[in-house]
Amino acid sequence: MKLDHIPLHLLYVDKTNMRFGRKVPDVSDILPTIRARGVIQTLLVRPPDAEGRFGIVAGSRRFHASRIVADERREAGDIDPEALLLPCAIMEDGDDAAAIEASMIENMARLDAEEVRQWESFTRLVREGRGVEEIAMTFGLPELSIRRVLALGNLLPRIRELYRAERIDRITVRHLTLASKSQQKAWLALFDDADAYVPTGHQLKAWLFGGQSIPARFALFDIDGFGGATIADLFGEDRYFADPDAFWTAQNAAIETARAAYLQQGWSDVVVVPPAEHFQSWEFEKAAKRKGGRVYIDVRGTGEVTFHEGYVTRAEARRIERGEAACAPKAQRPELTSTLQTYVDLHRHAAVRAALIGHPALALRLMAAHAIVGSPLWTVRLEPQATRNDEVRESVETCRGEAVFDAERRLVLDTIGFAAEEPTVTGGSGDDHGVEGLFLRLVALPDEAVMRVVAVLMGETLAAGSAAVEAVGEEIGIAMADWWQADEVLFALLRDREVLGRMTAEVAGETVAHANAGEKSKTLKRIIADHLEGAEGRDKVERWVPRWMQFPPSAYTERGGVGTVAAHGKVMAARQTASGRGTAELEKEEDRLMPQAA
């Protein structure tokens, strides 16, 4: 490598540069310095091409800023642009991988490169022969981080562009990397449909893996000769298998038949990738049958099967390029047929679930692992705490209850070995070990720690406004005044004058309420707020909570339409059924909930 000063007009951004082919980068932060002092730090460039031009590997932003300065000086008549020289370090010829690495190190150190751009550059490094471990060492990143970026190669180009444009978030993209191409196309169709629900985040994972509604189109076998039942939708356009177990028995037999046929055709090996794993395209390169290429059968939990013909690992591809043998393992007949494997699996399953009856502590931990990570048989949905009102959303997000729960959630995430930035415990975290790995972690924890995990898990999946919230709140004996106090959002939402009048009586007394009965709602709200704050000479009222928010709740009027009161009624009915209480006692409780006459 040698140093030289090269005219600006002989420089261009090389294709190995991370910013090649992109829009002109933002240089507002370095432009003032270059105007005043010029370029101080050398650019890294490749040797001159046939036209004598030098490709910039690292230093694209300095180059673009220099062009702006050159244009400014030309317009002012101060300089000939062709006379502007930039300090450059000229690389040795022929090392594309080193050039890509240099560009990435330069750019990632200065500005955070978004992941799609990282994927483009990491992929080029892999194609140049760099392994994941080498890339990780070069950039000081964990191997897992490199693999997650490379997994973006499993995505359709449009999904990568949506992610680059920040129209979909990281969790959504992470789950889409696990989706097959047909699933990605189906998801894009939902994304483009303004009237359709498009699953994102952890709901997307449930959409991808949560159900056992296996479409008939995924069958590799003849459906007409299939002994099990199928069900058609209302329009008769799609059919689904009624018995997933029967489907998988037939599907696995068809997969085994296809595998044998490929081997008979002369393929060096046929690898069945089970649903718990995925065929990561970036780890492989195309290779012909005569060069040791294999067939990978990618089996998804949804029932879909994809055949990837003619692939070898990238390491084997490098050996093939050097003229070495691909070292493909000799294909061997499996020890168990698919039917015999099913026989073994079902008998072991029967023994384990029977024995699990005597180990409830293990069952609890296994249940928690399923609810957190998910499985083909488990679908757990998060309570979205959704509202279209921004003020309501902010009020809830900043309340004491949310702060306490989120702090506990962070502790639980750390306890089970998940990253602290995960938004939830429920719904999977990209954990590499799946249910079994999380189950083993929970087994190692004491009962108290496991119960804290279960409490957060239940809190995340407890439906807002449900009778379950009412039952739990009453069972604990929650005093809402410990968790909530009136805020501006509440007063902004209060519009019923009759309700405001009864609230005024609660905090200010019947005399004040009667004296202001004809006042506007704004005046009544001000009276209530002054009493709660102890302002304007009014007596301060501590720990006031509207009747509907208390445990148990009650109403201010006889008009009905209070969801918490209706939920409490369900709880009361359930308790009556459980304890055999008489109707007279239940009616007495209902009378207590009705508003008292003024």
Collapsing DSSP to helix, strand or coil, 38 comes out as coil
Spatial contact of 284 and 312, defined as CB atoms under 8 Å apart: yes
R_g of the chain computed on alpha carbons: 33
Mean pLDDT of 81-95: 73
Alpha-carbon span 152 to 154, nearest angstrom = 5
Q: Please, which pLDDT band fits residue 211 given cuts at 50, 70 and 90?
A: low
Q: Please, which pLDDT band fits residue 206 given cuts at 50, 70 and 90?
A: low
The answer to which of 51-55, 235-239, 248-252, 370-374 has the lowest mean pLDDT is: 235-239
- Please report the pLDDT score of residue 331 as a whole number: 52
Summarize pLDDT for 21-58 with one digit per residue, the tens: 556 777 887 787 787 678 877 788 888 888 889 988 88
Largest CA distance in the chain: 100
DSSP state of 378: B
Collapsing DSSP to helix, strand or coil, 71 comes out as helix
Is residue 112 scored above 70 in pLDDT?
no
Continuous H helices in 236-286: 244-264
For residue 58, what is the enclosing H or E element? strand 54-58
Q: How many CB atoms lie within 10 A of CB 590?
A: 13
Continuous H helices in 291-379: 314-321, 338-356, 360-373
Backbone angles phi, psi at 545, to 5 degrees: -135, 130
- Please report the pLDDT score of residue 26 as a whole number: 77
CA-angle at 178, arms to 173 and 182, nearest 5°: 95
Collapsing DSSP to helix, strand or coil, 470 comes out as helix
The answer to which of 60-74, 331-345, 482-496, 577-591 has the lowest mean pLDDT is: 577-591
The answer to which of 231-235, 295-299, 386-390, 438-442 has the lowest mean pLDDT is: 231-235
- Please report the pLDDT score of residue 598 as a whole number: 38
Summarize pLDDT for 537-594 with one digit per residue, the tens: 999 999 999 999 999 999 999 988 899 999 999 999 888 887 765 555 555 555 655 5
**Who contacts 89 (Cβ-Cβ below 8 Å, separation ≥6)?**
1, 2, 3, 42, 43, 44, 45
Alpha-carbon span 23 to 76, nearest angstrom = 26
- Please report the pLDDT score of residue 338 as a whole number: 75
Alpha-carbon span 324 to 318, nearest angstrom = 9
Query: Tokens 């244009």 — which residue?
Result: 71
Among 72, 112, 127, CA closest to 284: 127
Cis peptide before 423 (omega within 30 of 0): no
For residue 514, what is the enclosing H or E element? helix 510-515
- Please report the pLDDT score of residue 300 as a whole number: 85
Is residue 120 scored above 80 in pLDDT?
no
- Please report the pLDDT score of residue 423 as a whole number: 81
Alpha-carbon span 562 to 573, nearest angstrom = 17
- Please report the pLDDT score of residue 444 as a whole number: 92
Is residue 174 scored above 80 in pLDDT?
no
* Identity of the highest mean pLDDT range in 11-20, 254-263, 323-332, 343-352: 254-263
Is residue 496 scored above 70 in pLDDT?
yes
Do the bridges between strand 85-90 and strand 294-299 make them parallel or antiparallel, or are there none, so unpaired? unpaired
- Please report the pLDDT score of residue 4 as a whole number: 82
**Who contacts 260 (Cβ-Cβ below 8 Å, separation ≥6)?**
none
Summarize pLDDT for 348-370 with one digit per residue, the tens: 888 888 888 899 898 898 888 88
Q: Is the dihedral of CA 15, 21, 22, 23 positive or negative?
A: positive
Spatial contact of 37 and 69, defined as CB atoms under 8 Å apart: no
Alpha-carbon span 358 to 397, nearest angstrom = 42
Summarize pLDDT for 383-415 with one digit per residue, the tens: 888 888 888 888 988 899 988 998 898 898 889
**Who contacts 283 (Cβ-Cβ below 8 Å, separation ≥6)?**
150, 313, 314
Task: Provide the β-strand partners of residue 294.
Answer: 311
Phi/psi region, residue 146 (left: phi>0; alpha: psi -120 to 50; beta: rest), is: alpha
Phi/psi region, residue 308 (left: phi>0; alpha: psi -120 to 50; beta: rest), is: beta
Buried b (16+ CB within 10 A) or exposed e, 464-494: eeebebbbbbbeeeeebeeebebeebbbeeb
List the 43-45 sheet strands across, edge first.
2-7, 85-90, 43-45, 54-58, 11-13
- Please report the pLDDT score of residue 29 as a whole number: 73
- Please report the pLDDT score of residue 239 as a whole number: 75
Alpha-carbon span 432 to 69, nearest angstrom = 50
Spatial contact of 452 and 412, defined as CB atoms under 8 Å apart: yes
- Please report the pLDDT score of residue 138 as a whole number: 60
Q: Please, which pLDDT band fits residue 490 given cuts at 50, 70 and 90?
A: very high
Please give the residue that has the higher pLDDT: either 176 or 499: 499
Q: Mean pLDDT over all residues of the chain?
A: 80
**Who contacts 317 (Cβ-Cβ below 8 Å, separation ≥6)?**
285, 287
Task: Provide the β-strand partners of residue 13.
Answer: 56
- Please report the pLDDT score of residue 524 as a whole number: 93
